[in-house]
Amino acid sequence: MLNVIMLIAAGGLIAAQPLTITSREWPAPHRTEALTASPPVVNLVTALVSQEQAVLVVRHAGGEAGERLADSLRQALVSLGVPSARLRFEPAAAASGQLILELMTNP
């Protein structure tokens, strides 16, 4: 199971909205189509694209598995038209199989 926690910064306030994506919903190989079927992910990408100064920070588990998962997300987002320069990936204290996404408006 892949847990995605979205933290969306809006006007200085951060609202947490947890989202769980199971391996059945986003199976390996991780297909972009599954992400586009998830309204919260679509909303996050829309917010990122609509805010010129925004950057999407993705925190992921360290190690090879965490890096592979983060890279899969990077590839999917870029294929959706998100410029890679607007994505920042950081190994952090995320649990294995978990990505923490945060939209930063003033990076």
Sign of the Cα pseudo-torsion (27, 33, 36, 41, in order): positive
Tokens 């998100």 found at: 82
Report the Cα 32 to chain-centroid distance in Å. Answer: 12
pTM: 0.76
C-beta of residue 77 within 8 angstroms of C-beta of residue 38? no
Q: Could you tell me the residue range of the domain that residue 69 belongs to?
A: 2-104
Q: What is the CATH number of the domain that holds 39?
A: 3.30.1330
Q: List, for residues 61-107, the tens digit of each pLDDT value.
A: 888 888 888 899 899 999 888 999 999 998 986 677 778 788 887 65
| Domain count within the chain | 1
C-beta of residue 58 within 8 angstroms of C-beta of residue 70? yes
Q: Which residues pair with 5 in a beta bridge?
A: 18, 100
